[in-house]
Amino acid sequence: MGTLDQRLPNPADDMNPFAEVDFFDLEKSLRRPRTLVSVLLSGLVTTMTLFALGPLFSVVWMLFWRGGHKLSASVFTQLPPSALEAGGGFGNAILGTLVIIVLATIITVPAGVLSAVYLAKAKPEDRLAQAVRFAAKVLTGFPSILAGVFAYGAVVLLTGGFSAIAGAVAVSILMLPTILLTAEDAIRMVPVKMVEAAIGMGATQTQTAWMVLLPTALPGILTGVMLAIARGAGETAPLLFTSLFSNYWPTSNGHLNLMQPTASLAVLIYNFAGMPFENQVELAWAAALVLVLLVLITNLAGQALSSRQVR
């Protein structure tokens, strides 16, 4: 390139301005170190990406291989076996996980969505909105075990015992930021025209929110809820000393009892993974398969919903 610049102002010198250009120098060839380095680095990045995906396939393969053949109808209906007992299942853990997740969703969704409505409608310089957003972002990285520590102090010690409620409170702390931040994004994505049309027709802020904003943003909000549920269902650390574990159904006298220790899939996997008994380990794998399927289906359903969001 340098040669070309120097030669151009002096055309009389040579009729062909490209005479001294080394065309080999301009060629993209693997023999040139620059190109070679580029290709090698591309190859390296490709290999590293494949390596990063390896664990995913390994986990899924192991889940189906070791957990798959243990799966049967009895696994879903029976109670966990004791030390050397054969058979058994984790029906109570599935029910417990569902109960805890439903409770946590009931706690989180109203708080998350209504705060998100406030955030989406707040002025940019609103201090409260900034504080909420910042708090939610910090909470996304909140260690899950600390949510358990908090729920232990705030609920278990207060009510005097381990319970599904305490577990739900702990899990809801971890679900809140996902719901809040996704719902805010979804509400912000509602076209301004629609909101202005509603206000132009004389609707109050509340009517706009209920009849335009929330229905239009619903797919996006549900995506956030689904992702939060998927995350909450897999959480183990906050349940370890809030809902604890139980070998029995979370019922007393035929009714759901929320104030007693409750089993959950995640804690069952943790407990059984460390046991020296083959049957328990097999059950841990089967439970892991059920849990991962539950989480993945919720996750994929959430992502499918988000593609239906009006943009």
Chain positions 168 to 207 lying near another protein, rule: CB under 8 A, are 173, 176, 180, 202, 204-207
| Binding residues for another protein, total number by CB under 8 A | 88
Interior angle at CA 41, CA 35 and CA 42, nearest 5: 90
Q: Does 139 bind another protein (CB under 8 A)?
A: yes
Rounded Cα distance between 136 and 217, Å, is 20
Alpha-carbon distances, residue 5 vs 9, 14, 20, 67, 205 (angstroms): 8, 14, 11, 70, 65
Tell me which amino acid residue 192 is: V
Rounded Cα distance between 151 and 157, Å, is 9
Of the residues 68, 110, 161, 191, which one makes contact with another protein according to CB under 8 A: 110
Of the residues 266, 283, 286, 305, which one makes contact with another protein according to CB under 8 A: 266
Residues of span 147-166 touching another protein by CB under 8 A: 147-150, 152-154
Give the shortest CB-194-to-another protein separation in angstroms: 18
Of the residues 64, 76, 249, 270, which one makes contact with another protein according to CB under 8 A: 270
Of the residues 105, 115, 182, 216, which one makes contact with another protein according to CB under 8 A: 115
Give the shortest CB-153-to-another protein separation in angstroms: 5
Give the shortest CB-62-to-another protein separation in angstroms: 6
Give the shortest CB-254-to-another protein separation in angstroms: 29
Long-range contact pairs involving 26-29 (C-beta distance under 8 Å, separation at least 24): none
Rounded Cα distance between 213 and 231, Å, is 26
Residues of span 70-109 touching another protein by CB under 8 A: none
Q: Nearer to another protein by C-beta: 253 or 307?
A: 307
Select the span of 7-15, 87-95, 247-255, 266-274 touching another protein (CB under 8 A): 266-274
Q: Residue 41 CB: number of other CB atoms within 10 A?
A: 10
Residues of span 291-310 touching another protein by CB under 8 A: 291-292, 295-296, 299, 303
Contact 107, 147 (CB under 8 A): no
Residues of span 238-257 touching another protein by CB under 8 A: 240-241, 244
Which positions from 28 to 67 touch another protein by CB under 8 A, shown as an x/- string?
------xx-xx--xx-xxx-xx-xxx-xx-xx--xx--x-
Rounded Cα distance between 122 and 116, Å, is 10
Alpha-carbon distances, residue 275 vs 40, 72, 169, 280, 291 (angstroms): 47, 22, 29, 7, 19
Tell me which amino acid residue 184 is: E
